[in-house]
Structure 1
Amino acid sequence: MSDKTTFGSYLSLSRVHSLVDLLRERTQQNPDFRTFTFLVNGESEEATLTNAQLDSRARTIAARLQAVVPPGGRALLLYPPSLDYIAAFFGCLYADVIAVPAYPPNPAALQRTLPRLQAIIQDAEASVVLTTEPILSMASFLFAQAPDLQSLQWIATDALDAGLAEQWRSPVVNEATTAFLQYTSGSTGDPKGVILSHGNLLENSADIYRCFGHHGDSRGVIWLPPYHDMGLIG
């Protein structure tokens, strides 16, 4: 890390070696801080996540992943823009499972969107799909079009027992550990994955914090979907 100065009003990057460290320390320092708010159509408030709530949901999802995926395994994230997506992303980080963001295939354009999803799954060697109950309930439609998707383990993270959080085991991760794979759109060929480490994400966050003059009370509005690189890490 090139920036060892204060990142946020109460956190030093010299003590943080991963996004797991970051959220765990923020939870300890300020558990009730509202980290994310999801707005419907940019106007009405639907739901929020505090540091403590995000940490709890991440540990719940991570515990489930640790039971079925070895460290360094890959999990596809198949969500609409939502707080469920954010919880699943951190759940992967908490399990040392490489997150593979993807957008759900469009039922009205399956000939275009389903092959892209299949190409990502094959290239990433994902063994698990994290999603929501509503999407999982429609998975049989996808299976009829792409039977190979049935070989993956599908987990609806919004239906997991919160008690699983107590079974979570803290992973061994650092700056060099791969956090997720970001895939290109595939508009000019097969989607190509870019490896991003915890260190990459911390460095990017520190640069944004410094260059935009952010402070502990800063707020940001994100309009891009979270499976887009600028929506997720920009």
Structure 2
Amino acid sequence: MQDHFVHQQCGDCPIRHRAVCARCETDELAALEQIKYYRSYQAGQTVIWSGDRMEFVGSVVTGIAALTQTMEDGRRQMVGLLLPSDFVGRPGRSTAAFDVTATTDLVMCCFRKKPFEEMMAKTPHIAQRLLEMTLDELDAAREWMLLLGRKTAREKIASLIAIIARREASLQVRRPKGQLSVDLPLTREEMADYLGLTLETVSRQMSALKKDGVISLEGNRHVMIPDLDRLLEEAGDDSDGGMLV
């Protein structure tokens, strides 16, 4: 199964205001245009294997990817999700640290790695934005450590739904009011693997959140959230500090 190339205009990009190029001026965007290309992947397809040489870096435009790590005995652990606008790859590092797999159909905006690194050195807008994104990723990793180490099963499920819903809302220029809805990118089995729970526990807690009116479900994937603040409370998060992303 091979990835294939697609084309998309920067002006139509749904992640433009959150991506690594968010602060770029017209001339800087033109320079990026010379080194970028788009790729699409089918759900389940590997974007890159851990240890492979990285020839590109880039951003998730649409869809979700999973970061996983495999131990020597074959055990695998999902260690992160890449949501729209998240950056893939590490400038200055020649090989991939994790497997990256498309969880849903995926479109990525890719930049040839060496020219991107050269452009970073002379374009403060890109370097500053990438630093901000890296710090956001560090905050998210620390939050995830808390989730896995201290939160209850119910809080874990609520947290995961909240993370996906908040990111989807953040991609909109104006924050949506009222009920939010989101399509979960993970199956129940994948949610269990990601959260360190059993499949039965995930299903039971999803049903409990639905019964208590925290969420409503259409099918297995489509989730409606009547009150985001209540969902954040169920997640064990402080809901009065604004929207976290």
More strand by share: 2
What is the TM-score of this pair, normalised by structure 1? Answer: 0.26
More helix by share: 1
> Higher relative contact order at CA 8 Å, sep ≥6: structure 1 or structure 2?
1
**Structure number with larger C-alpha Rg:** 2
What is the TM-score of this pair, normalised by structure 2? Answer: 0.25
